[in-house]
Structures are given as C-alpha cells and as structure tokens.
Amino acid sequence: MSRYPLANVHPEAKIGNNVIIEPFATVQNDVEIGDGSWIGPNAVIMEGARIGKDCKIFPGAVISGIPQDLKFKGEKTTTEIGDRSTIRECVTINRGTVDKYKTVVGTDCLIMAYAHLGHDCLVGNHCILGNTVQLAGHVIIDDFAIFGGACAVQQFSKIGAHAYIGGGSLVRKDVPPFTKAAREPLSYAGINTVGLRRRGYTSEKINEIQEIYRFIFLKGLNNSKAIDLVEKEIGASTERDYILDFVRNSERGIMKGYGGND
C-alpha cells in the first residue's frame, strides 16, 4: 500500500507498492517510482523520471527537469535512477537530450546535497558524488567512482571505475580508472589503494595497477609509447586491458602526470 496524503501526484503516474510520498511533494505525469521508495517533502519528480526500488529522494530535489540546453525542443527523454540510490537535499538532475535520450544514475549511488547532473550524464553503480558536485552535460562516470565535495566536471569528460577525485577539483580531462586525482590543474595523485582494498583487490593486483600507471604517468613517456611498453612488460589482465583501452580511446586526453611518489 502506497501513501501520499497532501502530495500532488498525477493520476497517471505509475507508483509501486509501499511507496511513501511526503506532503507537498510533486509527481508529474509520465513518472515511474519503484516499490519501497521514499519521496521527501517538497521534492519535485518531473516528466520522464524512472525511479527504481527502495530509492530515497530528499526534500527539495528536482528529478528529470528539462535540459539546460538551448537545442532542446521538447523531445521525449528520461532520467533513470537505479535501485537503492539516495538523492539528497536540493539535488537537480536534468533529463536527456537527443544525444542519448536519457540521463542515468545507477544502483546503490549516493548523490549528496546540492549536486547537479546535467543532461545525458551516465553515472554507474555504487558511485558517490559529494556535496555541490557539478556535472556538465554528457559526462560518463564508471562504477565505484567517488567525488569529494565541490568538484566541477567539464562536459564530455569520462571518469574511470574506482577513481577518486579530490574535493574542489576542476575536471577538464578524462580520469583513468583506479586512480586518485587532485591539484590544479588536475593531476595524477597515485592509486586509489584504500578503495581497492575495501572492494577486495589483492596486494598483487594493486601492485600491477601501480606499475601500469608508472609507465603512463611517471616515466615521462607519451601515451602511445607508454601503452606499447605496458603491453610488452605487463601480462594481459582485465584491469590492464581496461586501463589501456580507456587511455587509448580518450577523446579529451587524460589528466596530467605527476612526478611525486605514488
């Protein structure tokens, strides 16, 4: 049994079982909310929202607002939020444009207060965006990435899985997987060792990842030469191939290297 006394819920919205919609929240037409989700007071769930099961949308959040893009002409697009994700106070998430037709937040994510996700962003599973993180349009973030508070990410940037972006960073280049990024301009700051250990990576695998990034960031090589040497010196593995494919296919270029210890 779902409950939403005093909320403004469109009669054609699709509301799952055991959903609670608090007073003064608004749910527009063409919205789907999965079983067990909670919509806080004064949250606004706009057309095209697809919210999964057991999600929590806190007061003041605006989900699936139209894109802040002058080319947008009212196309039918969506915002998709995966199961068990939490969207904190006053977060804004814009729906997609004709580029991808959707903006996506994966499962088990935490988007902290006052963050903004622009149109056509694709955020993977188990990601954390700190308070006031600002994503421009078309940003792609892979699983388990973490952003400290007040980061700003330029449009079309890509962030690899398990990356950690230090608070207050300006992200103008792609951030490869498993790395830490900080400083201005954004630079390599080592491997996200703590995060990898928490997720079950062995010391041997972490050492392999570190060695790959020594070639890429710490030996003064261009990317093509670094990739060639890694392929010759380090045996194929899921992690190695993911890193090399990410660097090889980066259209914006990857962040700067750094000569300090990793």
List the catalytic residue out of 83, 120, 143, 174: 120
Catalytic residue (one of 116, 119, 126, 162): 119
Shared domain for 52 and 137, answered yes or no, is yes
Cβ distance 190 to 218 under 8 Å? no
CATH number at residue 223: 1.20.1180.10
Distance, in Å, from the CA atom of 147 to the CA atom of 133, rounded to the nearest integer, reads 7
| pLDDT attached to residue 187 | 97
- Assess whether 129 and 205 both reside in one domain: no
- Cα distances from 252 to residues 106, 138, 159, 187, 224, in angstroms, run 24, 13, 11, 14, 15
Parts of the chain with a pLDDT under 70:
1, 259-262
Domain count, the chain: 2
Same domain, 20 and 100: yes
Tokens 């002058």 belong to residue = 70
Instruction: Establish whether 116 is a catalytic residue.
Output: no
Per-residue model confidence (pLDDT) at position 3: 74
Q: Has 10 been annotated as catalytic?
A: no
34, 36, 130, 137: which is the annotated catalytic residue? 137
Q: Which domain holds residue 30?
A: 8-141
This prediction's pTM? 0.96
Q: How far apart are CA 251 and CA 240, in angstroms?
A: 19
Residue 12 belongs to domain with CATH number: 2.160.10.10
Residue range 42-95, pLDDT digits in tens? 999 999 999 999 999 999 999 999 999 999 999 999 999 999 999 999 999 999
Q: Are residues 135 and 200 in the same domain?
A: no
Cβ-count burial 165-188 (b if 16+ within 10 Å, e if not): bbeebebebbbbbbbbbbeeebbb
Does residue 255 belong to any structural domain of this protein?
A: no
Establish if 209 belongs to a structural domain: yes
Q: Quick one: 18 and 123 in the same domain?
A: yes
Give me the residue label for tokens 């280049």. Answer: 173
pLDDT given at position 8: 97
Same domain membership, residue 208 and residue 113: no
Question: Known catalytic residue: 30?
Answer: no
**Pair (16, 120) in one structural domain:** yes
Longest dimension (CA), the chain: 65
What's the pLDDT score for residue 238? Answer: 98
Does some domain include residue 129?
yes
Question: What per-residue confidence (pLDDT) applies to 262?
Answer: 39
Q: What angle do CA 151, 154, 159 make, to 5 degrees?
A: 75
Backbone conformation region of residue 173, classed left if phi is above 0, alpha if psi is from -120 to 50, else beta: beta
Q: What's residue 261's pLDDT?
A: 40
